[in-house]
Amino acid sequence: MDLAYLRAHPGQLPTFLTHQRIRETPVSGGDICTASRLTLDDGSSLFTKSWPDSAADVVPEGFFSAEAAGLRWLAEAGAVPVPDVIVALPDLLALEWVEPGSPSPTAAARFGRELAAMHQAGAPSFGADWPGFIGALPQENSPSAGPWPRWFAERRLAPYLKISADRGALAAADVALVERVISNIDGYGGSEPPARIHGDLWPGNLLWGAEGRVWLVDPAAHGGHRETDLAQLALFGGAPHLPVILDAYQQIWPLADGWQDRVAVHQLHLLLVHTALFGGGYRDAVRTAAGTALRR
């Protein structure tokens, strides 16, 4: 099997894997999926993601198709590179292999400019035309005209606050603090039209390529506020060379006044996703972000 054959017959990939006709090497795939590098007969490589064998019978419907749709949509902007989707099946996703490299200021500056261009490509509405996921959780993507503050509160904060509370990851006082942010959401800006955003842009979803560019992986892509992507880049230690990224971004599309004061409210979305998925270990981060947002 070579790449040309696979593109023409994507549904054959599971059969070849089952019969061990393709060299398969396990690689890191994050906290949810099992990942492998496949080497085809023509020497080309692919990155594949599948649900762990122990839970293969409970793959959320549309999970891999949502990621494939998001990657293709981001690629349409012709700005930040994303891996090409080779195979998108209900239980398997195969992508172009990107050879990893090391972060550099030059790559960071280029990424900042390209991210601004991707955001400028825009979106027809908030949300997307496909059902969404973030991590293993569903994400409400029904297209909406906005306005952004209420959409963000109802579709990106409240659902994961409820899951976190129901699972005991947040105490009543934490929930009340986030609810105060939600009640004040109209004060956090939002007059810009929908941007074309990655939607889950924590630093682990940047792939620093060997050719000197930054690639986007694992998107929860949709029309949203561009400040959400930028705020998420500062989470969990921050992206390498983040000041360079932000400076280059602003050279292409300057951010609205006061954007620094809104970072915490944009970060709340992904932090609540983490308490919903992984539990109370992220409780302090949620509490800190909500408190910072309320003091802005």
> How buried is residue 196: exposed, middle or buried, by Cβ count under 10 Å (0-12/13-18/19+)?
buried
Q: CB of 159 within 8 A of CB of 182?
A: no
Q: Which domains, from first to last, does the chain contain? A: 3-96 (3.30.200.20), 105-295 (3.90.1200.10)
pLDDT for the residue numbered 28: 82
Tell me how far apart the alpha carbons of residues 179 and 44 are, in angstroms, rounded to a whole number: 50
Question: Across residues 99-116, what is the average pLDDT?
Answer: 98
Length of the chain: 296
Instruction: Find where tokens 């012709």 sit.
Output: 78
pLDDT 10s digits, 7-16 = 999 888 888 8
Tell me how far apart the alpha carbons of residues 281 and 73 are, in angstroms, rounded to a whole number: 33
Question: Across residues 267-281, what is the average pLDDT?
Answer: 97
Query: DSSP secondary structure string, 112-149?
Result: HHHHHHHHHT--SSBB-SS-EEETTEEE----B---HH
Question: Across residues 35-48, what is the average pLDDT?
Answer: 92
Tell me how crowded residue 70 is: count the other CB atoms within 10 A of its CB.
26
pLDDT 10s digits, 67-100 = 999 999 999 999 999 999 999 999 899 999 999 9
Tell me how far apart the alpha carbons of residues 115 and 135 are, in angstroms, rounded to a whole number: 22
pLDDT 10s digits, 250-271 = 999 999 999 999 999 999 999 9
Tell me how far apart the alpha carbons of residues 21 and 42 are, in angstroms, rounded to a whole number: 13
pLDDT for the residue numbered 53: 66
- H or E stretch covering 216: strand 214-216
pLDDT for the residue numbered 55: 55
Q: Is 168 helix (H, G, I), strand (E, B) or coil?
A: coil
Q: CB of 268 within 8 A of CB of 159?
A: no
Tell me how far apart the alpha carbons of residues 136 and 213 are, in angstroms, rounded to a whole number: 28
Question: Across residues 229-241, what is the average pLDDT?
Answer: 98
Tell me how far apart the alpha carbons of residues 63 and 83 are, in angstroms, rounded to a whole number: 17
- H or E stretch covering 214: strand 214-216
Q: Which two tokens stand for residue 170?
A: 């947040």
pLDDT for the residue numbered 57: 60
